Structure 1
Amino acid sequence: MPRTVHTEDFQRTTQVKDTEYARTIPCRKVSISAPLHWLALGLNDFIRMPIISAFYGLCFTAAAVAIVQLVQWQGTHLVIMPSLVVYMLIGPFLALGLYDASWEREKGHKPSLLHSMKAIGRNSTSQWAFAVILVVAMIFWMRIAALLHALYPSVQGAPLIDFAPFLIIGSAVGAVIAALIFGISAFSIPLMMERRVDVMTAVFTSFNAVSQNKPAMIVWAFIICAGILVGFATFGLGMIVVMPILGYGTWHAYHETIYKKHHP
């Protein structure tokens, strides 16, 4: 005999445990101006946590300066991509300390440098798995770039029109890959740190949140790219300020966009 359907069947919510593998945690819709709010909150955290900000800012700066120096010493652009792969590998782990500091302030606790450093080891298995995903994606990007180099004019002093296929196709492919990498990484690391979820849950949740908030995330991606460009344009010194602010801002972006654990 068919089961009778009651109204409360549609009103009942089920609490899903964080241990469930490869699920998608719901997200909120945010306005296109939300990234400016995240940036302001990041700046406020930067000012209120000078020691922690300076420590991680100097770490990011040291890595950026090393890349700039390596390119200058080698005298070739061929070392730029491998260096960026290394930077993408260590960057998310350094950012964990910044996320933890913002999280501690959010909870009304007093952030400490030691506590933030311990956050780097929280859920390390999933974090390392995600780092490997980023490295594989960057290597794939490098291989695609090498193939596209065949479109580069072989004649010196070629007219600008001859560069069009290389520039148009290369830019289009690069934009697609960059968008995919940004989509899976925008919220993955803070989610793995706070809720200790598996790497695929973090990736699916991040990509879904970015997809549901395209206008705001395009603005946020532009802010991040502009900040990193400023950092490298100042020979890495600008990273002392830029990276902590962006790190704190990313935490606030995560908490405003992804539903919290106890308030689904």
Structure 2
Amino acid sequence: MPRTMNPSDMHDKKKEVPNSQYARTIPCNQLSVSAPFHWLSLGLHDLIRMPIISAFYGLCFMAAAISIVLLIQWQGTHLVVMPALVVYMLIGPFLALGLYDASWEREQGKDASLWHSMKAIGRNSTSQWAFVVLLTVAMIFWMRIAALLHVFYPSVQGAPLGDFLPFLVIGTIVGAVIAAIIFSISAFSIPLMMEKNVDMMSAVFTSFNAVKSNIPAMIVWAAIISGGILIGFATYGVGMLVTMPILGYGTWHAYHATIKREEDI
């Protein structure tokens, strides 16, 4: 004889949240403002322990950066800077996947290999490509906004500095807001999709919530990432050999320190 379901049964079922639930937000930990420096030190440690893998991905990042610098010099105009950076930001997450995988392997006590790290690109590829499409749309939107802001650019050559202030102030504010949004949705999305095989929207919501919940630490981490990238470009890409592997490994450790694991929820 079938058992009659009572209200408490319904309550228990509501508490069950399957791992495959779409667009869920995984809880995050609270971080200290000094946490990013610890992630940076862990990234440096991984760089030293995995020189071959680090050199391979460092060279890939360096080649991409040198290509952008040469393109800008060849065109002789600042108008190609934004499209070139868009391409770099779309390539970067896929290269970083290999670094995440290497740190993940070491974390589990395994010997990380270059071949295994390269295969990480194909892990949860559907969600990762969906995320690339999202980033592409966001970057195109950013480029269109940047083009519209040129209405504030002085039309007279040799205009005084004061005439540039509206363009600089408004451009900086708008750029900072868009950059903060893109950083928030991408800070932990790629490693989350790789490790937990979650859908793209779950990764985006989880990353955004984690950044929003730890703004001071995330500001420091964003500044460190920006500094590493600037050093790379300032050295015509050579600095990418060191900075990008460290930042890639550091991002993996940042992800594990920030996003709660299933057993902790």
TM range (shorter): over 0.9
Find the counterpart in structure 2 of residue 116 from structure 1.
117
CA shift for structure 1 position 90: 1.1
Find the counterpart in structure 2 of residue 36 from structure 1.
37
What amino acid is aligned across from residue 143 of structure 1 in structure 2? Answer: R
Is residue 22 of structure 2 the alignment partner of residue 21 of structure 1? yes
Find the counterpart in structure 2 of residue 188 from structure 1.
189
Say which is worse superposed, 71-80 or 218-227, in terms of deviation: 71-80
Given the superposition, is the C-alpha separation of residues 4 and 82 from structure 1 closer, same or farther in structure 2, using an over 3 Å criterion?
Answer: closer
**Partner of 2:25: helix, strand, or coil?**
coil
Is residue 177 of structure 2 the alignment partner of residue 148 of structure 1? no
What amino acid is aligned across from residue 25 of structure 1 in structure 2? Answer: I
CA shift for structure 1 position 225: 0.3
Find the counterpart in structure 2 of residue 75 from structure 1.
76
CA shift for structure 1 position 120: 0.7
Counterparts of 1:191-230 in structure 2 under 5 Å? 191-230=192-231
Say which is worse superposed, 82-91 or 237-246, in terms of deviation: 82-91
Structure 2: stretches of 5+ with no match in the other structure: 1-5
Contact map agreement 1:195 1:261 (CA 8 A) in 2: no
Find the counterpart in structure 2 of residue 168 from structure 1.
169
Find the counterpart in structure 2 of residue 233 from structure 1.
234
TM-score (norm 2): 0.94
In 1, the alpha carbon distance for the partners of 2:73 and 2:7 equals 74
**Partner of 1:27: helix, strand, or coil?**
coil
Find the counterpart in structure 2 of residue 247 from structure 1.
248
**Partner of 1:157: helix, strand, or coil?**
coil
Contact map agreement 1:18 1:196 (CA 8 A) in 2: no
Given the superposition, is the C-alpha separation of residues 13 and 55 from structure 1 closer, same or farther in structure 2, using an over 3 Å criterion?
Answer: farther
CA shift for structure 1 position 15: 5.5
Aligned residue pairs: how many? 258
**Partner of 2:45: helix, strand, or coil?**
helix
In 2, the alpha carbon distance for the partners of 1:244 and 1:255 equals 17
CA shift for structure 1 position 39: 0.1
In 2, the alpha carbon distance for the partners of 1:245 and 1:15 equals 39
In 1, the alpha carbon distance for the partners of 2:240 and 2:17 equals 39
In 2, the alpha carbon distance for the partners of 1:248 and 1:13 equals 38
What amino acid is aligned across from residue 188 of structure 1 in structure 2? Answer: S
Given the superposition, is the C-alpha separation of residues 124 and 41 from structure 1 closer, same or farther in structure 2, using an over 3 Å criterion?
Answer: same
Given the superposition, is the C-alpha separation of residues 13 and 26 from structure 1 closer, same or farther in structure 2, using an over 3 Å criterion?
Answer: farther
What amino acid is aligned across from residue 129 of structure 1 in structure 2? Answer: A
Residue identity over aligned pairs, in percent, reads 74
Q: Deviations over 1:152-197 (max 9, x none)?
A: 0111111111111111111000000000000000000000000010
In 2, the alpha carbon distance for the partners of 1:215 and 1:179 equals 13
Structure 1: stretches of 5+ with no match in the other structure: none
In 2, the alpha carbon distance for the partners of 1:152 and 1:4 equals 65
Given the superposition, is the C-alpha separation of residues 24 and 4 from structure 1 closer, same or farther in structure 2, using an over 3 Å criterion?
Answer: closer
Q: Deviations over 1:110-149 (max 9, x none)?
A: 1000110111100001001101111111110110010000
**Partner of 1:262: helix, strand, or coil?**
helix
Contact map agreement 1:88 1:135 (CA 8 A) in 2: no
Is residue 86 of structure 2 the alignment partner of residue 85 of structure 1? yes
In 2, the alpha carbon distance for the partners of 1:211 and 1:261 equals 21
CA shift for structure 1 position 86: 1.1
